Structure 1
């Protein structure tokens, strides 16, 4: 810990902790101060063992319970855009109290709920492993949870896992997988005044783009939840100069696939879809996670939350727990459609309800 770590109030509830956490700027790559603050908040709790891995903080109980639950949340945010410090407001339509600012939705309200419960629950029904990690919003190889898993996998043993991603306070099971591919069409350079002597790679890419535009993504039901897939061009590059026929055009494609498909099956689908391309390079790949709702602990959590679960259509780190054979769900305050938006805002009542429901489940005899 450094002397520059800001203070978080251990007596504050989840709402005030949301404000305090959000006002500690922690854009990906700059999580040291918030990780220091979280560590400082926890180290004096007698029921917790606190471990640090870079800017990831792990806190564990050792109560000898039969089952262990892992609960995780990331500390970083996307870049700030004149939306800190947070502001307390009233929603103009509903009139409910909200907190507005970067990180309120993704996902410091969820982290605040977790921190409050980590301090409050010295006699939970399960042994608990709390994880707050860095670098979630950037490239997968930098992810602090993945790094800590590699460095000390035994820390993350458990029977069930919860990720505090925003879900409007409901349960979202599993997640879609994600794949990015660079699809390349090649041509032959020539002076544009003699274009017939060349082959325009951008023109050759047109049928691929048309095929993508006409593609209808599937909705796949997995263990009772509906996952909507997606296949889209997200970036295109090509061209040499204003008077040169281009010899290369690259299309970056993102494929979001249902958790019923393996990573290998997703790769095979994309390669087949673009079988007429000159090159298909897979540049990023992360498998999805099945809903995990058939686990006994998940069913008890659904009852505690009191609302039917939905599918998580984006990718989240529940995938990492699923790969370890640990059923995992997403549960946190905040509207996921506002994640990364400049007008991020979270209802105060939703923070309080999530805190109450999760705390009730963690203390109930399972």
Structure 2
């Protein structure tokens, strides 16, 4: 089975999350490892879900991790021009759910590690390939890996999310909030006898609009923070004053914005609305909390990637979506590169695809990165120590 056929095999597996069923993808990796007598590890997570891991022990003292997720979002209700789990090749592209986000990056990283194993190339850092479950919902796989590997030292992390082959050094944080306003039901013809939770939510949304302006900051290369009300639900029926209204808020942050500080400020604003009788009662809960991550372009990992591409520091980028890096590296202590063959603009879209040549180039990129990382780390360490070797 060649590299393109292997990607097609992964794309033909429905690992839409929910429910995930990532273990079906794990089985494809196991089959490939057995074919080449390559060591692997499976961590069962229950309900046909798992993490898959390959570790190659290196000759150096550094540890490089390649990481990607096996789950995808669902194909959605929009009709596709090609079956979403066909892995169909049309022209220079492979189509299918996960083609860009991110089974192409996942397959490319695995195939790079497999190639290194088969060639018995040295010298090398210790290399781990980690395929996780659940990134599209709760990052359950990344969390399970952390719980199992508290004392494991990772010197650099590469995440194969779609970047269109751009070198990405960080991503924005994501904070999702659910806010509920409460009231009291009454007959629609006698609104003064009730407390309208929908009316009260208008005040909440106005506060969010105001805070959006005061919260917004920009940090290159990540861009600007943002806030959007993305869901609203409330009311029982037309002739009943609603006693409940709920919204979801999607906040994207950049350093140095702290999520807990934002929540504290918002709670204070809503408490003030209660004091002013513009709000009867409310509840604010955190639905998702992923910090932003950022790596200096001067780090050995990023310099290594730039050298492979023949690019300079000013060709480092940021992305607005979050990755498992927010769980594995929440304080940006581990140099992290986000790099993949997929196009982020096609992620979660119908007729998702990846360019075949980009996929094949990424295999070589990841392989070169692993083969030159130790040398770059040692050179940079030597420079810092003032050596001349």
Assess same fold via TM > 0.5. yes
Could you list the per-position Cα deviations for residues 300-353 of structure 1 after superposition, in whole angstroms to 9, with x for gaps in the alignment? 112213441211211111112323732212111111111111110111121122
Q: TM-score, normalised by structure 1?
A: 0.86
Could you list the per-position Cα deviations for residues 255-278 of structure 1 after superposition, in whole angstroms to 9, with x for gaps in the alignment? 111142233234234435645363
Question: Residue 273 and residue 67 in structure 1: after superposition, are their counterparts in 2 closer, same or farther (change >3 A)?
Answer: farther
Matched, 1:33 2:30: no
Partners of 1:355 and 1:101 lie apart in 2 by 19
1:173 is paired with a residue of what secondary structure? strand
Counterpart for residue 332 of structure 1: 340
Matched, 1:282 2:289: no
Contact 1:219 / 1:226 at 8 angstroms: preserved in 2? no
Corresponding residue pairs, total: 343
Matched, 1:147 2:147: no
Could you list the per-position Cα deviations for residues 178-237 of structure 1 after superposition, in whole angstroms to 9, with x for gaps in the alignment? 11222233333221111122221211222333454574473521xx42332221112112
2:54 pairs, out of 59, 81, 101, with 59
1:225 is paired with a residue of what secondary structure? coil
1:332 is paired with a residue of what secondary structure? coil
Structure 2's unaligned 5+ residue stretches are 45-49, 77-82, 274-278, 377-389
Partners of 2:269 and 2:322 lie apart in 1 by 22
- Residue pairs, 1:298-313, within 5 angstroms: 298-307=302-311, 308-313=315-320
Counterpart for residue 218 of structure 1: 216
Partners of 2:266 and 2:169 lie apart in 1 by 25
1:110 shift after superposition: 0.5
Matched, 1:185 2:181: yes
Question: Residue 298 and residue 43 in structure 1: after superposition, are their counterparts in 2 closer, same or farther (change >3 A)?
Answer: farther
Contact 2:171 / 2:222 at 8 angstroms: preserved in 1? no
1:158 pairs, out of 154, 157, 162, with 154
Partners of 1:323 and 1:182 lie apart in 2 by 22
Counterpart for residue 47 of structure 2: none
Contact 2:301 / 2:337 at 8 angstroms: preserved in 1? no
Matched, 1:268 2:264: yes
Counterpart for residue 240 of structure 2: 244
1:292 shift after superposition: 4.6
2:5 pairs, out of 16, 33, 41, with 16
Counterpart for residue 132 of structure 2: 133
1:255 pairs, out of 251, 254, 272, with 251
Contact 2:301 / 2:336 at 8 angstroms: preserved in 1? no
Could you list the per-position Cα deviations for residues 104-160 of structure 1 after superposition, in whole angstroms to 9, with x for gaps in the alignment? 1111110111121111113253220110121222234xx212112212334x52100
Q: TM-score, normalised by structure 2?
A: 0.81
Structure 1's unaligned 5+ residue stretches are 1-8, 91-96
1:16 shift after superposition: 3.0
Contact 1:290 / 1:322 at 8 angstroms: preserved in 2? no
